[in-house]
Structures are given as structure tokens and as C-alpha cells.
Amino acid sequence: MSQDADGEAGEGKREQARAESDAWNITGYLLGGPIAWGAIGWLLDRWLGTEVFLPVGLVMGLGLGLYIVWVRYGRS
Amino acid sequence: MALTALGSVLSAEEGGEAVDPSKAGFVPPNSLEFAYPDIFGGDGWLTKPVLQIVLAVVVVFLFFFLSSRKRAMVPGKFQFAGEGVYGFIRNGVGRDVIGHGFEKFVPYLVTLFAFIYVNNVMGIFPGLNFPTMSRIGFPIVLALLTWGIYNYVGIRKFGVYGYFKNMMFPPGVPKPVYILLAPIEFVSTFLVRPVTLALRLFANMFAGHLLLLVFMLGGAYMLANESLLLNVLSPFAFVTAIALTFFEALIQLLQAYIFTLLTALYIAGAMAEEH
């Protein structure tokens, strides 16, 4: 390779990359929460013939997603 | 037919009468603009986007093949360009993000970046004027490739049980809560990531192409219209179209980079020992 000057600059970029990865991972959790628990709630509704578990699952999933974000990223 | 924006503009140029009288005037561009017929007519699969994909393969291959042939210690301009692209991804994305053991992923990352970028640039390239990644099938394939790779790498390193255990059970959480969090972790890592990868690239290219169409076809319609006011105002549409073309050029590079960077991040995440 005719150029390979990265040393400390590389460390800065790794920090930046990690920050960007965190942003997308957090988005993933905030989406995945309602999706996962909404799906579970919807399946429960189909099994039991009710209508209440889908919205309960969605809301619970959002709350749990926020909790995961706090656990993984909020605590220092 | 005045079903597509182009159709309405062409019929305006023919004298201001839409072929379908109930659809007079400018029809804003819509998803029909992205549907191309088979080049031999009819419903086949050999469409312009397919040909552009093949062209992109040839272009990317030729670029890296020809720029690496001479291997001079003091590189000429073409070799310098090829090494620049390769080094940018190898160092900035491969080495800095994946770290230890990154070398075996470099070919995939470099090819991914170059391939996506060449396909995106076709959106503003004169004569082609269509970003192939705005047909969602193509980003889906690339996202599936990335998804397959980062899951395979994680499973090969930790075993199936270990990989899913790492994924679904973050540290620092009381045991009973694990069962509540596991589905979210699974959905987030396993399902949301490939979907957002494909969707992000597709939506950016789709929206960019639509924007360019609105201003270019709108400007053409205004210029061809009978109304003098519209004729006089049409340069504003064209100037905006030019400005948006430059903006699209930036977005195209950025989206190729983001796709590649996220691929590397997901691979690094799958191999991470931190849990």
C-alpha cells in the first residue's frame, strides 16, 4: 500500500464509528421492542380470541426497548 | 398516455392536449417511473435496471483490475485512484471498525462500496439517469448478503448457542428480566438490521430520483406549456434540478459509505467478546 498513515487518527475514527454504530443499534432496539412484543401480543390475541394483547404488547415492547437502551448504553 | 409524468410532458409538447382528456395537465412523477419494460417488449426480466447492474459489475471489475495491473512502487494516476479507494475502505472501515482479523472482510467491503456507488451514480449519469438501487430487489440482495455474513461469522466464532446467548442476554440485567428482553434483542439484531439496511439504501435512491424527476419534468412541462407565465418561471425549476443533482451526488456517495460501514459494524458486533 502506498499510504497507511492512520495511527492516532484511526483511533478517532474508531470512536466515531462506535458512536454511529450505537445510534443505529439504539434505533434497532426502539423498533425491535414494539415489533417483537407486538407480535407476541398479536399471537396471544389470535390464540385467546381477545383484542387487548396487541396494544399491550406494543406499549410493553416500547418500554422494554427503552429499558434495554438504558441497560446497554445509559449506565456508566 | 398521460399516466406518467413523462407522458404528460410529451403530450403537452405536442400541443397541450393530453391523450386522455380526463387527465389534462402535468402528472407528477410516481412509482410508474421506475417500471421499465423488457428491452424486447412485454413483461420479461431483461430491463434497463438489469442491464445497468451488469454494466456496474463490468465497470467495478475493470476499475480495480486495470488500476492494479502495473503495481509500480511510484503509482501512476490510475493506480493511485484505485489504491485510494481500496485504502479508504480497508483502513477507515475495515481496520478501524473490525480491528483484529479484518483482512478477510476487505474484499467484500471494498466491492460492496464500489458496486453500490457505481450503481447510485448512474442516477445522475447522462444517458442512464436511473439509480439501480431504487429498485428494491437489488438492495434486498445486498442486505441479505451482509446479514448472512455477520450471522455466519458470529456463529462460527461462538457456536450457535453461544452466539444467540451473546445476542439476547446483555450483562447487568436481573435474571428474570432476561426472558422479557430476549425477544427484543433477537428481533433487533436478526430482523430489523437487514430490513433497515435494504430500506435505507432503497428509500434514499428512490426519493432522490423522484425529486430530480419532479423538477426536470416539471421544468420541461412549464417550458412547453402555453402559459407565458409558466414559460418565464421554468428556469427556476431547471436551476433547482441542477442544484439537486449535485446534492444527489453527495447522497449517493454517502449511502454507499453508510451501507459499507454498517456492514463492517455488524460484523464487528457479531464477533465482539464483550458480553
Q: Which grid cell sits at A6?
A: 492512520
pLDDT at B12 over 70: no
pLDDT at B18 over 60: no
- B251: part of which helix (H) or strand (E)? helix B228-270
Give a yes or no: residue B31 inside a domain. Answer: no
Which of A15, A24, A72 would best serve as a mutation to test chain B binding (most B beta carbons within 10 A)? Answer: A24
Q: Which grid cell sits at B10?
A: 410529451
Tell me whether residues A6 and B91 touch, CB distance under 8 A.
Answer: yes
Q: Is B232 on the interface with A (CB under 8 A)?
A: no
Instruction: Report pTM.
Output: 0.83
Tell me whether residues A6 and B95 touch, CB distance under 8 A.
Answer: yes
Q: Is B107 on the interface with A (CB under 8 A)?
A: no
Chain segment B39-67, per-residue pLDDT in tens: 887 778 899 999 999 999 999 999 999 98
Span B244-254, average pLDDT: 94
Tell me whether residues B187 and A4 touch, CB distance under 8 A.
Answer: no
Closest C-alpha among A28, A30, A31, A8 to residue A20 = A28
- Examine the predicted complex and report whether its ipTM is higher than 0.85: no
Number of A to B CB contacts under 8 A, please give it.
Answer: 92
What is each CA distance from B245 to B30, B74, B129, B199, B216, in whole angstroms?
A: 19, 36, 11, 22, 10
Distance CA B58, CA B111 (A): 12
pLDDT at B38 over 60: yes
Interface of A with B in 35-74 (CB under 8 A): 35-37, 39-40, 61, 64-65, 67-68, 71-72
Tell me the torsion sign for CA atoms A7, A13, A17, A18: positive
Distance CA B212, CA B170 (A): 45
What does the pLDDT read at residue B181? 85
pLDDT at B31 over 60: yes
**Shortest CA gap B271–chain A (Å):** 14
By residue range, what is the domain housing residue B245? 36-270
Give a yes or no: residue B28 inside a domain. Answer: no
Chain segment B90-111, per-residue pLDDT in tens: 999 999 889 888 999 999 999 9
Amino acid at site B183: P
The number of distinct structural domains making up chain B is: 1
Tell me the torsion sign for CA atoms B214, B215, B217, B223: positive
More confident residue, B19 or B181: B181
> CB under 8 Å to B5, separation ≥6 — which residues?
B26, B27, B28, B29, B30, B33, B213, B214, B217, B218, B221
* CB crowding B219-246: b at 16 or more within 10 Å, else e: bbbbbbbeeeebeeebeebbebbeebbe
Give a yes or no: residue B225 inside a domain. Answer: yes
What does the pLDDT read at residue B99? 86
